[in-house]
């Protein structure tokens, strides 16, 4: 399963805007598990506050995994999301292809 297939599988769990899929922490964690099972890398996680007009990024909450090893990215991404208090944030998980 490729990254696009995984993103499509989760479309009903989140909010799509401008080609991005925004998920709550629990949905993002499940997506990461699916990515892990498909042995695809995670390039990063971005955190947003969504309003009716915009997706406002929270730069201090971004996790850049672009240069990580594939196995490390899953663990790091899960740890980051598990360490967050639920404050109503949405997350975009950026997934690569093998």
Domains of the chain, CATH where assigned:
3-95 (3.30.190.30)
Listed in order, strand segments (DSSP E) in 4-97 are 15-17, 20-22, 42-50, 55-57, 63-64, 90-95
pTM for the full predicted model: 0.84
Q: Mean pLDDT over residues 46-73, rounded?
A: 80
Whether the per-residue pLDDT at 18 is higher than 90: the answer is no
Output b/e per residue, 61-70; b: 16+ Cβ within 10 A: bebebeebee
Whether the per-residue pLDDT at 50 is higher than 90: the answer is yes
């Amino acid at each position: 399963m490729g990254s696009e297939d995984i993103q499509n599988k989760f479309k009903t769990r989140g909010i799509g805007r401008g080609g991005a899929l925004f998920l709550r922490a629990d949905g993002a964690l499940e997506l990461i598990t699916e990515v892990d099972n498909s042995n695809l890398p995670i390039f990063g996680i971005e955190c947003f506050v969504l309003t009716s007009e915009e997706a406002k990024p929270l730069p201090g909450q971004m996790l850049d995994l672009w240069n990580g090893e594939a196995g490390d990215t899953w663990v790091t991404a899960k740890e980051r999301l598990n360490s967050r208090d639920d404050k109503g944030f949405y997350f975009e998980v950026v997934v690569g292809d093998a």
